[in-house]
Structure 1
Amino acid sequence: MSGRSERMRRSGALARGGPRVRPAAVHRRWITAAALLAAACALPFQLAPFHVFQFTMVLVYAVALLGLNLLVGHAGQISLGHGAFFAVGAYGTAIMLDRWELPHLLTLPVAAAVAFVLGLALGVPAMRLRGPYLALVTLAIAVFLVPLLKRFEQVTGGSMGLTLGKPVPPAWTGLAEDQWLYFLALAVAAAAFLLAGGLLRSRVGRALHALRDDEAAAEVMGVRPSRYKTLAFAWSALFAGAAGSVYTWVIGFVSPDSFTVTLSITLLAGIVVGGLGSLAGPPLGGLFVMFVPSIAQDVNDAAPGVVFGLLIIAVMYVAPAGLAGLAGRVARSARRVLRKG
C-alpha cells in the first residue's frame, strides 16, 4: 500500500471512530490519573506558601498549554499569539472584578466565553493560512495587544494596570489563602483536562487528528477543514482565557507588561518541551515554564535568556518528543523489566 493510501486509510479511520484502546490501557490511565490527583491534593499541606504559589502557577500554565496543545499538537496549526488570549481572560476577569464587582467564580465562564468568541473570529482568517503565514498573523496579534491595553487607560488602568482582591477562603475550609487559591486552580485544571479529553475522543478530536495527518485525505473522507480549524482556534482560546482568569485570581494584579509577546513564545516553547499531542505534555510544560526561567536566572543573572535557550536545546536533544515522550519511554521500559522479572 502506498504512503498516500495509508494516510487516507488512517485519516478515514480517525474521522469515523478512531483507533480502539485496550481496556487495560484505559484502566491504567485512570489509576495513574487518580494517583496524580491524590498527590496534587496533598501537595499544598507539605510545602511553604511560596512553593504552593509556584505550583498554583504551574496549574494555571498547564490549562493555557492545554489549549495550545489542542491547536498545535492535535490540529497541526501554529500560534505565536496564545498569550493574547491568556491576556483577554486575565483582563476580562480584572475588569469584571474592578468595574462590576462580580463574584470571582462568575468571572471564569464569562472570560472563557469571550476568549472563545475571539478565537472563532481569528479562526476565520486562519482557514486560509498555514505555516509561517499563520505564525506571522498570530504574532502580530500578540505584538498589537500591549499598546492596545495601554491606550484604553480608563478601562484597563493603562501602564499602571489594575490591582484586585483575591478570593477569600470560606471559614469552614480551614485553608490559608495560598492553599485555597491552589485548590481553585486545581479544580479548574481538573475540569479543563476532563473537557479536553472528552473533546479529543469526540468527532471533533478525530477530525482534528485527520486534518493534522493529511488535510487532503481528510477532506476526501468528509472532514470540512474550514469548520474544524476554526473550532480548534476557538477551543484553544477558551482554555487560554480560563487560565488567564485564574491567573488574575492568583496574582491579584494585571498590567500590559505581563502579557508581552515573550509570554506567547514561552508558552509555545513550554508545550513543545512538554510534549505535543499528549495530555501529559501541558502539566510537564507548565513545570518547565514556571521553574526553568527562575533556574536560568539563578545560573546567570546577566543573561537568563541565553541559559533558558540552552536548556530548551538540551531538553529537545535528550527528548525530541518532549518530556511526555521521554516519560512514556521510561514507563514502557520499566514495564518490560517488570515482566521479565
Structure 2
Amino acid sequence: MSTTKVQAKPVAVERRRRFDRRWAGLALLLAAAIYAPFQLVPFHVFQLTMVLVYAVALLGLNLLVGHAGQISLGHGAFFAVGAYAAAVLMDRWALPYPLTLPLAAAVAFVLGLALGVPAMRLRGLYLALVTLAIAIFLVPLLKRFEELTGGSMGLTLAKPQPPAWSGLAEDQWLYFLTLAIAVASFLLAASLLRSRVGRALHAVRDNETAAEVMGVRLSFYKTLAFAWSAMFAGAAGCVYTWVIGFVSPDSFTVNLSITLLAGLVVGGLGSLSGPVLGGLFVMFVPSISQDVNDAAPGVIFGLLIIAVMYVAPTGLAGLAGRLIKKIPRKE
C-alpha cells in the first residue's frame, strides 16, 4: 500500500466522524426545539419563535455579507417589505396566510434584484451608504401610502389559528410554523452554498480580481446575492407578520437594520450556526440592555457588543468551534 493511501485513510475517517458528529448534533438540537414549546410558558414560546424569525432574516444577510463579502445596512428594509407584503395581502385581499409566504418572498426577491443591479457597481463604504439610504427612506414611504399600508397606524391582522386536529395552542402552532420555515430555509441555504453559486460567492468575497480572472461573472453573482438575501429577509418578515399580528412603519426603522448586522457579526459571519446565535442576540440583548438601564439602553447594548467581540472576534460560532476543538477526544 502506498504512503499516500495510508495517509488518506485517517483523513477520510476523521471527515466521516466530523460528519456524523455534525448530524448527531443537529438531530439533538432539532429534538430539543420540538420539545421546548411543550415545557415553556406562552411568552417564552413567543420569544423562541422570534429568535427563529430573526435567524431566517440573518441567514439571508449572511449570504450577502458573510459569503459574498458585500456590506449592507438596509437589510431591515427587505424584512419590512416581506412583512408589509404579507399584511396587505391578508388585510386588503383576504388571501389565506399560507399563500402570503411565497408571494412576500417573491416581492422581496424582485426588489433585491432591482436594487442589486445599481449596487453591483459599488463596494465598501459606498455600498453601505446606499443600503443605509434604503432603510432610511422606507419608513416615511410606508407612512405616505396610508390607504394601502395603514399609514402611521399600521395594520392589525388576525393571527393564524391552529387546526383542530393539531391540539396545539396558538403560540405553539405559530412556533412550529416558524420552525418548519426556518429548517427549510437553512436546508436551502446549505444546498445553495454547496453548489456552484456558493463557490462563486466565496470567490467574489475572497478576491474579486482573481474571481473575475477565473471566469466568475461579478455583476451576476453580486446581484444574485442581493436577491437571495432579500428573499430570506422577505420570508422572515412575512412570518413576523403572522406572529405579531400587527405591522407599523415604526417597527422597521434603521435601527432594525443596524441591529441585524450587529447580530450577524456577533453570531459569526460565514457560518450556518451564526444566524441562530445572532437571532438569540437580536431577541434578548436589547431587552436585557433595557432592563439594566432604562435611561441608556443603547450604551449597554454597545458595551455588550464590544465585550463579545473582544472575547470572540470571529463571533460566537467561531468561539464555540474553538472550544469544541479543545475537548480531548478518545482514540
Which category of TM-score, normalised to the shorter sequence, fits these structures? over 0.9
Once residues 181 and 260 of structure 1 are traced to their aligned partners in structure 2, the CA distance between those partners, rounded to angstroms, is 25
Alignment of 1:1-341 (within 5 A): 22-334=15-327, 337-339=328-330
- Residues 252-303 of structure 1: CA distance to partner in whole angstroms, max 9, x if unpaired? 0000000000000000000000000000000000000000011111110110
Offset at residue 126 of structure 1 (A):
1.5
- Residues 88-112 of structure 1: CA distance to partner in whole angstroms, max 9, x if unpaired? 0000000000011111111000000
Three-state SS of the structure 2 residue aligned to 1:286 is: helix
Amino acid at match of 2:300: V
- What is the TM-score with the length of structure 2 in the denominator? 0.95
Offset at residue 33 of structure 1 (A):
1.1
Three-state SS of the structure 2 residue aligned to 1:310 is: helix
Once residues 119 and 34 of structure 2 are traced to their aligned partners in structure 1, the CA distance between those partners, rounded to angstroms, is 39
Three-state SS of the structure 2 residue aligned to 1:278 is: coil
Amino acid at match of 2:109: F
Further displaced range: 116-125 or 241-250: 116-125
What do you get for the CA RMSD once the two structures are aligned? 0.9
Return 5+ residue gaps in structure 1 as ranges.
Answer: 1-20
Once residues 135 and 109 of structure 2 are traced to their aligned partners in structure 1, the CA distance between those partners, rounded to angstroms, is 16
Runs in 1 of length 4+ with deviation above 4 angstroms?
none
Once residues 38 and 311 of structure 1 are traced to their aligned partners in structure 2, the CA distance between those partners, rounded to angstroms, is 31
Once residues 141 and 69 of structure 2 are traced to their aligned partners in structure 1, the CA distance between those partners, rounded to angstroms, is 29
Offset at residue 27 of structure 1 (A):
2.3
Once residues 22 and 65 of structure 2 are traced to their aligned partners in structure 1, the CA distance between those partners, rounded to angstroms, is 23
- Residues 138-187 of structure 1: CA distance to partner in whole angstroms, max 9, x if unpaired? 00000010000000000000000000000000111110000000000000
Amino acid at match of 1:108: L
Once residues 22 and 125 of structure 1 are traced to their aligned partners in structure 2, the CA distance between those partners, rounded to angstroms, is 42
Amino acid at match of 1:338: R
- Residues 9-63 of structure 1: CA distance to partner in whole angstroms, max 9, x if unpaired? xxxxxxxxxxxx9333222222111111111000101111000000000000000
Offset at residue 339 of structure 1 (A):
3.0
Once residues 277 and 186 of structure 1 are traced to their aligned partners in structure 2, the CA distance between those partners, rounded to angstroms, is 22
- The percent of aligned pairs where both chains have the same amino acid is 81
- What is the TM-score with the length of structure 1 in the denominator? 0.92
Amino acid at match of 1:328: G
Return 5+ residue gaps in structure 2 as ranges.
Answer: 1-13
1:9 aligns with none
